[in-house]
Amino acid sequence: MSLGPYASFIVSSYLLVALVVLILIGWIALDYRQQRARLRELEASGVTRRSGRGAADLS
Amino acid sequence: MTLIDLANPTRFLSLTAKILPWLAAATALLLAIGLYQSAMAPDDYQQGATVKIMFIHVPNAWLSMFVWGVMSLSALGTLVWRHPLADVSAKAAAPIGAAFTFLALVTGSLWGRPMWGTYWEWDARLTSVLILFLMYLGLIALWRAVEDPSRAARAAAVLTLVGAINIPIIKFSVDWWNTLHQPASVLRMGGSTLDKAFLIPLLVMAVAFSLLFITLHLAAMRNEILRRRVRALQMQQASQPRA
């Protein structure tokens, strides 16, 4: 597969898309872990939801 | 399962926990197929190998508008139907839409330099997409500026619906004004003008990126629901009398 004289533009485009998508995935995954950790901390300190269910329980 | 069933955040979280792994796997598989097809696609007789940029530029450009459409529906859900998850959906979609719009702008620019001889031109299509990107940033800033999520939701919903006027302007800008940007070649009356060698990888990539959006959107909505639970518990903790 030859990308011709504009290979740098093509490769840069694909690398940029990969980078931004990976940042989005990483940011969302990190945010999820942070929220679950905060919920567990709050529950451990004795604060519970009115329903009585665990706030970090997703089922 | 109806929209009313999903109005219960706990039920929504349960559903997303079940379907997110499958969605992520389907997205990865389709992206792999799309990337392979993009790599194997022949050079265009005019664009040469730079046609490969189209396989990532066009899906991002479509999604930049589609995500605003999703946010507009969510805005109606907030203002008209008062669906409990509508503003969660809108808030979760905004950063993802901003990312797709950014990628559409930059990959378009990287395609434009070798093909048009310039990275940027202040024509109707490029300028209206830049405005869309700035509106995404404005919405994200608004969500962050107002602490109470329900107050922020109403203001953001109004701004989203006002901003929706830009979507048909982007879509038809190439027909209404003289622009450097080529007219629609896939989604047009009379069918696509693209050869199958380019159309199939493009459509596979478009479906893959759409699945990517759905996966990220559901995951971000799940995070937002958890964030609101954290906020509610923190307020509950602050209101409890200290011993």
Please report how many Cα atoms fall inside a 13 Å half-sphere around the Cα of residue A38, on the Cβ side: 18
Mutation site for B-interface testing, chosen from A2, A11, A21, A53 by largest number of B Cβ within 10 Å: A21
The values of phi and psi at residue B44, to 5°, are -80, 150
B226/A59 CB distance under 8 A = no
User: pLDDT of B125-135, one tens digit each?
Assistant: 999 999 999 99
Q: Looking at residue A21, what is its pLDDT?
A: 97
Question: How many angstroms separate the CA of residue A54 from the nearest CA in chain B?
Answer: 10
CA B170 to the chain's CA centroid? 14
Q: Looking at residue B45, what is its pLDDT?
A: 86
pLDDT at B217 over 80: yes
Count residue pairs from A and B with Cβ separation < 8 A: 107
Here the tokens at position A39 are 């919920």
- Which pLDDT band, with edges at 50, 70 and 90, does B221 fall under? very high
Mutation site for A-interface testing, chosen from B106, B223, B225, B228 by largest number of A Cβ within 10 Å: B223
User: pLDDT of B3-25, one tens digit each?
Assistant: 666 678 888 898 999 999 999 99
- Which pLDDT band, with edges at 50, 70 and 90, does B48 fall under? confident
Question: How many angstroms separate the CA of residue B14 from the nearest CA in chain A?
Answer: 5
Is residue B228 helix, strand or coil?
A: helix
Percent of chain B with pLDDT over 70: 94
Q: Is-contact B35 A13, C-beta < 8 A?
A: no
Q: Is-contact B236 A47, C-beta < 8 A?
A: yes
DSSP notation for chain B: --TTGGGSHHHHHHHHHHHHHHHHHHHHHHHHHHHHHHHHSPPBTTTBTTHHHHHHHHHHHHHHHHHHHHHHHHHHIIIII--TTHHHHHHHHHHHHHHHHHHHHHHHHHHHHHHHS-S----HHHHHHHHHHHHHHHHHHHHHH-SSHHHHHHHHHHHHHHHTTHHHHHHHHHHHS--SSPPPSSSSTT---S-HHHHHHHHHHHHHHHHHHHHHHHHHHHHHHHHHHHHHHHHHHHHSPP-
Mean per-residue pLDDT over chain B, rounded:
90
The values of phi and psi at residue A25, to 5°, are -60, -45
pTM here?
0.90
pLDDT at B242 over 70: no
Interface of A with B (CB under 8 A): 1-7, 9-10, 12-14, 16-17, 20-21, 23-25, 27-29, 31-32, 35-36, 38-39, 42-43, 45, 47-49, 53, 55-56, 58-59
CB atoms within 10 A of CB B40: 10
Residue with structure tokens 């931004």?
A20
Dihedral sign of CA atoms B69, B87, B97, A15 in order: negative
ipTM: 0.89
pLDDT at B112 over 80: yes
pLDDT at A55 over 90: no
Q: Is-contact B36 B204, C-beta < 8 A?
A: no
Mean per-residue pLDDT over chain A, rounded:
86
Q: What are the residue ranges spanned by the domains of chain B?
A: 22-228
Rg over alpha carbons for chain A, rounded to the nearest Å, is: 21
Instruction: Measure CB to CB from residue B226 to each of A13, A35, A47 and give the nearest one.
Output: A35
Q: Which residue of A has its CA nearest to B11?
A: A59
CB atoms within 10 A of CB B168: 12
